[in-house]
């Protein structure tokens, strides 16, 4: 099973690997010495892969330090050093929180980022692991959002609590919590509206939902995940910063990595925002939303 998942990850990162690893290989192949010119070329490759300027500078600084500490002299030995630097950066300051149940998972993100699809895939993962899952259709404003979530609920074979389009999202979450408690659900996954262009209303809405969860589901573990579209590159970082103004974010779900050469955004998000990436999407199938593992990600990228 591990080999199959790694294969999907490797395949899903093909475009990013072409934009980073293949170019790194080309530069190192013709390099004679490890000098400033080599570092500049590596820097340019990383920036073009949407790792971001500040994060790239940090990577190159760490790479120089590691090469000096390990007394690396051959250009051919630079790539393994770069791999270790990126893994260390992705794992840095990451505190693993032990998952507890019952649990409430709030999913936020702009429309079109893959929010509803991600909810369906996460629901399927928990269902397959033996957990009792309940979904809440809290995005009552976007046309067809409720219907789309219902399709995924049926695919994952989990229950769904919904109201009519235009209903109060807080009321949906309240009813979903009541249903979850009465049915003995292990995890309640809540869809929310993605109207980032109207931050004031979104802030009030998320604050209301959080208050309802905290008052009505005392003792439940609560986490908020932000869904970002990897194909938007550095714009995803900007989106995350805006959402951080409205809500505490515990993790990132990065979708559509298989459709972009901008997979370096994973590194930029962690280094810039210090928010852990929880899931990455490397395909359209239910099994193609994978839990993020720094070592696996970098190994698939540099393989």
Q: For 18-51, how does the pLDDT look when each residue is reduced to its tens digit (9 = 90+)?
A: 889 999 999 999 999 999 999 999 999 999 888 9
Spatial contact of 239 and 110, defined as CB atoms under 8 Å apart: yes
Count of domains observed in the chain: 1
Structural domain includes residue 266 = no
In terms of DSSP bridges, do strands 277-281 and 289-291 run parallel, antiparallel, or are they unpaired?
A: antiparallel
Closest CA to 193 of 170, 161, 223, 164: 170
| Residues contacting residue 108 through CB under 8 Å, at least 6 positions apart | 115, 192, 194, 206, 224, 225, 226, 227, 243, 247, 249
Residues β-bridged to residue 254:
228, 280
Q: Could you tell me the pLDDT band of residue 3, with boundaries at 50, 70 and 90?
A: low
Spatial contact of 199 and 83, defined as CB atoms under 8 Å apart: no
The mean per-residue pLDDT over the stretch 262-280 comes to 92
CATH code at position 110: 3.40.50.300
Domain that holds residue 178: 103-249
Tens of pLDDT, residue by residue over 147-173, are 999 999 999 999 999 999 999 999 999
Tens of pLDDT, residue by residue over 108-141, are 998 889 999 999 999 999 999 999 999 999 999 8
Binding site residues, as ranges?
109-116, 191-195, 255-258
Query: Is 0.85 topped by the overall pTM?
Result: yes
The mean per-residue pLDDT over the stretch 71-76 comes to 95
Predicted confidence (pLDDT) at residue 199 exceeds the cutoff of 80: no
Share of the chain above pLDDT 90, in %: 74
The mean per-residue pLDDT over the stretch 208-228 comes to 95
Q: Could you tell me the pLDDT band of residue 198, with boundaries at 50, 70 and 90?
A: low
Binding site residues for GTP, as ranges?
109-116, 191-195, 255-258
Spatial contact of 232 and 239, defined as CB atoms under 8 Å apart: yes
Burial of 31 (0-12, 13-18, 19+ CB in 10 A): middle
Structural domain includes residue 68 = no
Structural domain includes residue 240 = yes
Q: Could you tell me the pLDDT band of residue 61, with boundaries at 50, 70 and 90?
A: very high
């Amino acid at each position: 099973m591990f080999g199959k998942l790694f294969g999907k990850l490797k395949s899903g990162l093909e475009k990013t690997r072409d934009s980073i690893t293949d170019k790194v290989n080309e530069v190192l192949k013709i390099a004679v010495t490890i000098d400033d010119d080599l570092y500049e070329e590596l820097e340019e490759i990383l920036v073009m892969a949407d790792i971001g300027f500040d994060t790239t500078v940090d990577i190159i600084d760490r790479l120089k330090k590691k090469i000096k500490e390990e007394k690396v002299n051959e250009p051919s030995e630079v790539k393994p050093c770069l791999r270790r630097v990126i893994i260390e950066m992705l794992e840095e300051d990451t505190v693993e929180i032990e998952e507890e149940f019952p649990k409430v998972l709030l999913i936020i993100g702009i429309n079109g980022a893959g929010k509803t699809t991600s909810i369906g895939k996460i629901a399927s993962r928990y269902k397959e692991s033996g957990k009792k899952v309940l979904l809440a259709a809290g995005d009552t404003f976007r046309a067809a959002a409720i219907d789309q979530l219902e399709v995924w609920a049926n695919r994952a074979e989990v229950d769904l609590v919904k109201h009519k389009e235009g209903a109060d999202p807080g009321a949906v979450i309240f009813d979903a919590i009541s249903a979850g408690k009465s049915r003995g659900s292990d995890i309640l996954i809540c869809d929310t509206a993605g109207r980032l262009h109207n931050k004031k209303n979104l802030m009030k809405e998320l604050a209301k939902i959080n208050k309802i969860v905290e008052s009505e589901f005392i003792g439940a573990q609560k986490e908020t995940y932000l869904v970002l579209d990897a194909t938007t590159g550095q714009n995803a970082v900007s989106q995350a910063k805006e959402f951080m103004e409205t809500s505490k974010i515990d993790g990132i779900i990065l979708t559509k990595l298989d459709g972009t050469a901008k997979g370096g955004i994973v590194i930029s998000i962690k280094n810039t925002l210090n928010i852990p990436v929880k899931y990455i999407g490397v395909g359209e199938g239910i099994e193609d939303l994978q839990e993020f593992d720094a070592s696996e990600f970098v190994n698939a990228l540099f393989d």
